[in-house]
Amino acid sequence: MACTTILVGKKASFDGSTIIARNDDGSFESKGAIVIERNKAPKKYKSIQTHVEIELPDFSYRYTSHPNVNVKKKGLWAACGINEYNVGMNATETISSNPLVSGADPLVESKVIKGKKVPGGIGEEDLVTLVLPYIKTAREGVIRLGELLAKYGTNERNGLAFNDENEIWWFESIGGHHFIAKKVPDDRIVIMPNQFGLDNFDFDDAYGKQEGHICSLDLKNFMIKHNLYLGLKGDFNPRLAFGSHSDQDHIYNTPRAWFLLKYFAPKQFKFEGQDADYTPLSDDIPWSFIPDHKVTIQEIKYALASYYQGTRFNPYGNEEGKGKYRSIGVPNTDICGIQQIRTNVPEGIKGLEWASYGGGAFTCCFPVYTNVSQLPDYLVKTGDKVSTNNMYWTSRLIAALTDAHFAKAVIFTERYQNAVFNKSYEIINEYDAKYRENNDEKVLIEANEKILKMVKAESEKTLGDVLYVASNSMKTRFNRGDN
């Protein structure tokens, strides 16, 4: 399992945006960034992994996508994006389950029958491509995906997010064909570390007005039939019913939730000692909470790149317990994608997509305007071989060198991350103003080129700095006064 998700409601964010963010922790798959133009999506989709074939609508909306470069190897895995209606999607977070659910509604598996591979449902490889080009609101994303899940089933357990200017919806699959979804309260943030997350749900609303809750039509009967009401008083906690609290969770998942709650709400709870409200082993860490202050993009990036800084679990520290738990920022984060949908700005500039490639702990995070027909080559022209001509591989190199020489190199990557954020906001402010004067797509294309030109320059400088540190630390280095 992999990935970590953070969702930020509009009253909890620094500028009234809705924000969805996720580390796409993969297998060191090189990622590019592309724009699929309106009505250019294929009319039939075929999964590489499961061979499932799905007829698609005749229309499609323009959207950004972050696919694997080597599609033939494992499939598209588009990861995240924003479409022309300023709807964001980030998919998926692998989530946990339990034997009661798995036995009641098994995952759809691929099978070979008489020498032919029979399709095994849809999964992370497919979801952005099947949903994002066809929706105008976050809520529509939940409905469309729920219908696809009921028809084709899924081969894995997934949680994913949709956002538009007004709402964020969190969607979790249950077994092979069921789902549950909840609107994120505007004043709250959500943390999701590979576990089934929802800890409360209103069936009356889901089967009524659906103001904040949506689920499979038969979910309640499914739960009754399979004895999934696990509350002692017959009350319903989705996490108890559909999730897990295994030993693996306590090493791999719950420590991440603990650290993120500690980071965003340090004043509200006690996190250390025998009378701590929550520890890395707690199974009841809240799915959503009100943060201590309004949350910025920089804080989201820091949180998703974190590795238990300031605790005894820091793998770069010297205390007992270092490296005990799975970090949030890991080297196999192919992309950290942050979809920000802004308000109080013109429609054409509501969508900003922030990205960090190749191991977020030591790499930078930068934005692009999404209402464009093309993206800069430094993002688009990513190959499957190591090269400094694109953002993905340059990021991987910086991260690997910094990790190997942490004590001396980390100062350069910290300065790098700050510099890119500072200059990115400077460019955003400049081009927001330009777009208000002249709402032309060319303005946004120019802005994106300027941002990536800056990012390329800062990245090359930082690569040089950490390479110098690494070179001076080589075992054959010898100084006899002759340099």
Contact between 195 and 254 (Cβ < 8 Å):
yes
Query: Is 3 labeled as catalytic in the residue annotation?
Result: yes
Residue tagged active-site, from 3, 80, 215, 364: 3
Residues marked active site are found at: 3
